[in-house]
A and B are shown apart, each in its own frame.
Chain A
Amino acid sequence: MYAARALARALAPEDVRERLSRARIADAGHGYDRLGLSREGALAAIAGTSFLYERWFRVRSSGIEHVPREGPAILAPNHSGTLPLDGVMLWADVVRHGDPPRVPRIAVDLFVPRLPLVFTAFARSGAIGGDRTTVSRVLADGELVGIFPEGVPGIAKPRSERYKLRPFRPGHAELAIRHGAPIVPVAIVGAEEQWPELARIESFHAFGAPYLPIPATPFPLPVRYHIRYGPAMDPRPRFSADAADEPAIARGLAEEVRQAVQGLVDATLRERDGVFG
């Protein structure tokens, strides 16, 4: 344990260590917040993702200034890739570049907590179960939450439909209206090509997984990741909190967010210099 902590300190870039020391974590008394996030865990996650973020995917980030400096807010990115490395890179990007530093709470699919080791590691770095109660509580506490509104269908798109966003589920819009949380549309480009899928075993449901992807390569490809944040969409001037119970309003806002994300994705695709460039 002590060796792991020392290794994390050694591998995490110094400026990120300094940023993490300034990030607000609501310590519940033993160095962890009530859902398991710890500064040490976040530091370990930064150390563990440094190679992927800096060297392998060479992430280019733009528009981070659109992420609210404080209060509840929702990051709403597109979702893609055989495995959800896009969520990991988004988390790392916000921790590395957000000003002031915030540790986003990425909401994971409900089967993820069943995975031994994985969810414990995720929880220490701030991931939370993607159920409404937990996400709602975290927003009520004024935190920054990452929700992939496409869900698993976003990840499961065939290659021919890459970067064509699936319908956005309205849950994030409902929560944003309820809590007065601005939604930051985010485009993640590169993840669609990161790990070509050879096949999938649809009948595999161990740990509650929707299916088992069989990647075509043993490792993800060293594609260039682009993470682009758009202007925050603040529901407060338009809707009262009670409007969250109006299905048409929530669906309408979710569709607006989807269009905003699709616009950011399209713009980034036009501007990028090839998949690896």
Chain B
Amino acid sequence: MTGVLVTGATTPFGLALTHALAAAPDVTQVLAVARETQWPGASERKLTYISLDLTRERDVRDLLFGQARELGIEVVVHSAHHRSLRVHGPRAHALHVDATRQILELVERHPSIRRFVYASSSEVYRRGAGLPSVIGEGHPIELSPEMPQKLRDRVEADLTVCARSGLSRCSLMVLRFAELLAADSGSQLADYLGSLVCVRALGFDPMIEVVSIEDAVRATLAAVASSAQGVVNIPGADVLPLSSAIEAAGRTAIAVPEPAVELLYAARALRRGYEFTWRMNRWRFRWGGVLDGTRAHEVLGYVPRARVDFRAVAQAAHPGTST
């Protein structure tokens, strides 16, 4: 019997995870935490929602050693991060990295918490022509200073958790999900597919991999129940060329020379306020890369099976662009 604390509980993934945990027979309590003042989901008997700013150290300490201890929380699933690339600066870093570090330090001496699961992303992996197309957990990490702060922060937070693995009295697991393709999830691909016309680099049609919320939740439930440690890739059930993803979303693909793609998307971001940036995705949109799910299968018994409705995601990403 387990009590679970979920941070970032009001994102589409956090909501789905919280409800799945509340419905799980072996979970006794779910303590959902997010910034929003109101819980946006349905109320559940086992669910307690707390509105909290994770960047406020005192509040986090009070949460963990107050309510979390009283509820007998044993597992923390930390998935809080800003979904928008536009949020940057010290406040964003405080949530992405400092809060992660602080929660880690606190759970290590917490009387009831024995496990910490960090929801990371395959965005942390470097993509390149000379790098393997199959991305294992030991794949090189994206450390380029050119990348947006959100990505650099995610890498730092991910590695912060990895650095404690094996040293902590808590068991730590980092789940590196394939891109979670859902509207309002901070997915770059969802924003990209929001346009009626999707421009890609001429001569390149890489394999793209996405994971559904359903599969991501299933993998996280398995991680909560497991005692294994370390990094685990969570692949998705949809692996397809970028051109096919565009087609599946009901969009029109146009291939143009790469310098023009960068300019077009820079102009689109400025004019329409869209999130997608070519700079962050250019290596992935040239050479792709798919996650090796062998470890997820061996350690968590996880095999992806739920497909994503590309058309629905694209339309939800930018309502009014339906075809």
Contacts and interface: CB of A to CB of B under 8 A. Distances in A.
Contacts of A134: 132-134
A36 B209 CA distance: 11
A128 interface: yes
Contact of A30 (B130, B131, B238, B290): B238
B198 interface: no
B203 to A, nearest CB: 2
B90 to A, nearest CB: 37
Contacts of A268: none
Interface stretch (A109-117, A171-179, A189-197, A222-230): A109-117
B132 A35 contact: no
Contact of B136 (A29, A123, A133): A133
B287 A113 contact: yes
Nearest to B243: A1
A29 B240 contact: yes
A32 B307 contact: no
B203 A111 contact: no
A248 interface: no
A5 to B, nearest CB: 13
Interface residues of B, number: 28
A37 to B, nearest CB: 10
A116 B204 contact: yes
B129 A114 contact: yes
Contacts of B209: 34
Interface string B104-133: 000000000000000000000000011111
A120 B131 CA distance: 16
15 contacts: A28-B239, A29-B239, A34-B134, A34-B239, A110-B129, A110-B130, A111-B129, A113-B133, A113-B287, A114-B129, A129-B133, A132-B132, A133-B139, A140-B294, A208-B129
B303 interface: no
Contact of B134 (A114, A117, A137): A137
B307 A29 contact: yes
Which 4 pairs, one residue from A and one from B, show the smallest C-beta to C-beta distance? A116-B203, A133-B132, A30-B240, A28-B239
